[in-house]
Structure 1
Amino acid sequence: MRKQVLIAGGGIAGMAAALGASHAGWDARLFERAQEFSEVGAGVQLGPNVVRRLQAWGLQKALHAVASVPQQLVARCGRSGKVLAGAPLGQSMVDRYGAAYVTIHRADLHSLLWYAASERADVFINPGQEVVEVLGTERVTTIRTSLNKEIEGDALMLADGVWSKLRGPLLGDASRPRVSGHLAYRALLPMADVPAGWRSNEVTVWLGPHMHAVHYPVRRGEMMNIVVIIEGPAPEDMEHWDHAANAQALEQALQGCASSLQDLVRSVPAAGKAWRLWPLSDRTPLQGPEGMAKGLVGLIGDAAHPMRPYLAQGAGMAIEDAAELQRALAMDDLDVALRLRRYALNRWERNARVQARSIRNGNIFHATGPVRWGRDLSMRLLGARLMDVPWLYRGDGSSASSL
């Protein structure tokens, strides 16, 4: 008899988990609160470590039909606008790491995974049904949904995000995600409305005191994703993390920054587009495998290891998790609890390293005083070498310095 995994959450992590389980020969039953599957947000960067996983699922063609492949990564001083360093992407990433570095609209990535999962006969997607309670996790897992249905499975994966309501009771952890003190303003702009000097096929990062910004093309270069992260107090309602943002407040926060960056920011409301505000929350880096699996319950993506966006790996680590979940679930000689234990053992250290490096990068990006001067000097001297992340893109755990 085929085994069955229940999945709580239908975002990128949940869809990836369903694909991984299906490729392992399991049935996957996915439950999502929303009536229609969609993914809010703006752009996502996917390094070659993630693209290789999508290729293994046969999604290379579908990915490149909706994504952009930037040719260069450029870092600029947020105050002067001067270039600090640059690094090649494009074919150079393929040559070094076996896959491209791509940028994609978050909704396009979600749709790509949803379509791939829905096409598989052993994936059963249930919109309008939230997993509200876990009734048992001993010999089988039993859940109750918002439609008052009780469903049994051989395993349960929590993919319900940073504000997971199921995580605490199942792990015995009453802690809540911590507020980072960083606010992300995000916007999508048709490339035709972008100031002419910035219509490029590049990932551009601006580094300034207590702030940084990044912009890059999505949707085959038809749109530009713009993110500005500043330090400040978060709105009170943290769980509803996507808020209508005040463009004037953002412009005031960027006073003293390069005029060209300010022009780019002002081009968003000038084109009739809106900024959205995301207060950023995370958890301390994982301390062991217990943060990713307990008995017949596993966690994937932000439910297990929410991270700050300063290494651009939040969605990527969820997809890597799903690929490892696939390998673990396919170990038919082990009982299910041991398979999930193996999954957690093989993932927690890498996720913890990415979490810690993301925090470190945020401190470097937003540095002031002597740390800022040292950062800028190092980037001018080391350039592409400093901006490369071999241990991350290879996925082999080797060490290397990184921006």
Structure 2
Amino acid sequence: MNQQVIVAGGGIGGLASALALARQGVPTVLLEQAAAFGEVGAGLQLGPNATRLLSDWGLSDALEACAAFPEVLRVRDAHRGTDLGQLRLGAMALARYGQPYATLHRADLHALLFNAVQQQGLTEWRLDSRLASFAETPDGVSATLDDGNLLTGKALLGCDGLWSRVRSQLLGAQGVRASGHLAYRGMVRAGDLPLALRAPVVTAWLGPRMHVVHYPVRGGEWFNVVAVVHGVLGQGHGGEPGSDPQGWSHEARANDLQRAISPACADLLAMIEAVPGWTLWALNDRPAMAGAHEHAQGRVALLGDAAHPLRPYLAQGAAMAMEDAWTLGRVVEFAQKKGDWPRLLAVFAQTRWQRNAQVQQHSQRNGRIFHATGLVRWGRNTAMRLLGERLLDNPWLYNGPPEPERPPVLSPRARRAA
């Protein structure tokens, strides 16, 4: 398929898309607005649904080399320190889902995908390049860049994040939705933690109007720590009033965070105090997807956060972007007419939108449950103690992603007629 596809955005979703298409022989030109490829941020979690894709792409060994594989998800009360419930991971995740549960640094996942795309050899890299606008033509897409240069391709994939320019032109200007939550993030060496906090465990601390999650990355040598609290940038939480809402991170002050989670138990405070520095960003999203038209129209498709930004309460942001990319690759693989991009993207959109909407809805619901107060908090804690793993596990999610429909097998005569 010598039909170039334009991919706007060089993050995890964009690289995964280029990889999935390259594996089907489809060349891409990938636009990245930064002057060098790389990934900001700290850690992320990959459930079995995501590690299944890396395995299918032949990247399990690369994942093994850079990730950690926690033994358990442990939920604790942020104020009292008591255990609320747990979900066995490790060998149990392998037994249940056939794939591991992994935690790793975002930069490591980005590098893993970048190296895989380079090895395929079908991607042209355009650094310091950002799409300004696009236009569909009868047989392709024309993209204008910020510097005035023009690119043409058979299709355009918008993998350019929450503030996507591709989305704005495809669906019209739509403001993002402020969650009223702020995320503090930091990294700490495992050797700088008390022994009790170095275990290969994902720990989630739940408290009124806040929660904290920490887990090992980089083979357990570091821990990623994320604390989510209610608040506004510049109002007692770092940054300056009017800070750029599109900014990924702002300077944060540890005492602001300690005040926001107070009163915290000794173990949680020990973890917070061990982190040498914090950055901060405001959490924004959009309403859950309402139909396939929000994923693709004609020769243009949106993937990852450009289509379905997620609040981080189900740990599925990177996974859903990768699922989108994998599904598109499968649609191309199964297609009987490989070059019909409007049809290919329509099948992709129909396959993906409902699952992505469901994950968006579950993420929003989890945020309300994590930060519950009063009787709702009491009911949550009681349910976790009584139901344990049945409440914390997500078979509907981890058994995915769903395969796109395969077209019926045609006889040679029918194929010639088609």
Q: Which bin holds the TM-score, normalised by the shorter protein?
A: over 0.9
Amino acid at match of 2:347: R
Amino acid at match of 1:79: H
CA distance in 2, matches of 1:138, 1:215: 50
Instruction: Check conservation: 2:49, 2:401, Cα contact below 8 A.
Output: no
Partner residue of 1:266 out of 270, 273, 291:
273
In 2 relative to 1, CA 162–99 (structure 1 residues): closer, same or farther, beyond 3 Å?
same
Instruction: Check conservation: 1:118, 1:125, Cα contact below 8 A.
Output: no
Instruction: Check conservation: 2:131, 2:165, Cα contact below 8 A.
Output: no
Correspondences of 1:4-43 after superposition (within 5 Å): 4-43=4-43
- 1:388 matched to which residue of 2? 393
- 2:316 matched to which residue of 1? 313
CA distance in 2, matches of 1:123, 1:201: 37
**Counterpart secondary structure, 1:230:** strand
**Counterpart secondary structure, 2:165:** coil
CA distance in 2, matches of 1:196, 1:101: 23
Are 1:337 and 2:336 counterparts? no
Are 1:219 and 2:218 counterparts? yes
Instruction: Check conservation: 1:138, 1:296, Cα contact below 8 A.
Output: no
CA distance in 2, matches of 1:204, 1:45: 12
**Counterpart secondary structure, 1:29:** strand
CA distance in 2, matches of 1:263, 1:254: 13
Cα deviations across residues 59-92 of structure 1 (Å, max 9, x unaligned)? 0000110000000110001110111111210011
Instruction: Check conservation: 1:178, 1:283, Cα contact below 8 A.
Output: yes
Correspondences of 1:166-181 after superposition (within 5 Å): 166-171=166-171, 173-181=172-180
Are 1:249 and 2:256 counterparts? yes
Are 1:352 and 2:376 counterparts? no
* Gap runs ≥5 in structure 2: 235-241, 403-418
Cα deviations across residues 203-239 of structure 1 (Å, max 9, x unaligned)? 0000100000000000000000001000111353201
Once structures 1 and 2 are overlaid, which stretch shifts more, 364-373 or 254-263?
Answer: 254-263
Are 1:295 and 2:298 counterparts? yes
**Counterpart secondary structure, 1:278:** strand
CA distance in 1, matches of 2:50, 2:306: 19
Once structures 1 and 2 are overlaid, which stretch shifts more, 229-238 or 282-291?
Answer: 229-238
Instruction: Check conservation: 2:29, 2:126, Cα contact below 8 A.
Output: yes
Amino acid at match of 2:267: S
Correspondences of 1:169-248 after superposition (within 5 Å): 169-171=169-171, 173-234=172-233, 236=242, 237-248=244-255
CA distance in 1, matches of 2:86, 2:269: 21
Partner residue of 1:278 out of 276, 281, 285:
281
CA distance in 2, matches of 1:70, 1:164: 34
CA distance in 2, matches of 1:185, 1:137: 45
Amino acid at match of 1:219: R
Once structures 1 and 2 are overlaid, which stretch shifts more, 118-127 or 366-375?
Answer: 118-127
Instruction: Check conservation: 2:295, 2:349, Cα contact below 8 A.
Output: yes
**TM-score, reference length from structure 1:** 0.95
How much has 1:137 moved relative to structure 2?
Answer: 4.7
Amino acid at match of 2:266: S
CA distance in 1, matches of 2:30, 2:90: 35
Are 1:372 and 2:377 counterparts? yes
**Counterpart secondary structure, 2:139:** coil
- 2:74 matched to which residue of 1? 74
How much has 1:142 moved relative to structure 2?
Answer: 0.7
Instruction: Check conservation: 2:69, 2:102, Cα contact below 8 A.
Output: yes
How much has 1:245 moved relative to structure 2?
Answer: 1.0
CA distance in 1, matches of 2:149, 2:20: 25
**Counterpart secondary structure, 1:351:** helix
Amino acid at match of 1:140: G
Once structures 1 and 2 are overlaid, which stretch shifts more, 128-137 or 351-360?
Answer: 128-137
Count the aligned residue pairs.
392
How much has 1:136 moved relative to structure 2?
Answer: 3.3
**Counterpart secondary structure, 2:120:** coil
Cα deviations across residues 3-27 of structure 1 (Å, max 9, x unaligned)? 2110000000100010111112211
In 2 relative to 1, CA 137–157 (structure 1 residues): closer, same or farther, beyond 3 Å?
farther
* Gap runs ≥5 in structure 1: 398-403
CA distance in 2, matches of 1:54, 1:119: 15
CA distance in 1, matches of 2:392, 2:361: 17
CA distance in 1, matches of 2:90, 2:397: 17
Cα deviations across residues 144-187 of structure 1 (Å, max 9, x unaligned)? 2234321110000000000112211122x221111111101000
Identity of aligned residues (%): 45
Instruction: Check conservation: 2:331, 2:347, Cα contact below 8 A.
Output: yes
Cα deviations across residues 294-318 of structure 1 (Å, max 9, x unaligned)? 1100011000000100000000000
- 2:156 matched to which residue of 1? 156
CA distance in 2, matches of 1:213, 1:155: 41
Amino acid at match of 1:80: R
**Counterpart secondary structure, 1:99:** coil
Amino acid at match of 1:220: G
Once structures 1 and 2 are overlaid, which stretch shifts more, 183-192 or 126-135?
Answer: 126-135
CA distance in 2, matches of 1:196, 1:93: 25
**Counterpart secondary structure, 2:282:** strand
CA distance in 1, matches of 2:353, 2:102: 25
Q: CA RMSD in A?
A: 1.3
How much has 1:396 moved relative to structure 2?
Answer: 6.5
CA distance in 2, matches of 1:360, 1:369: 17
Are 1:53 and 2:53 counterparts? yes
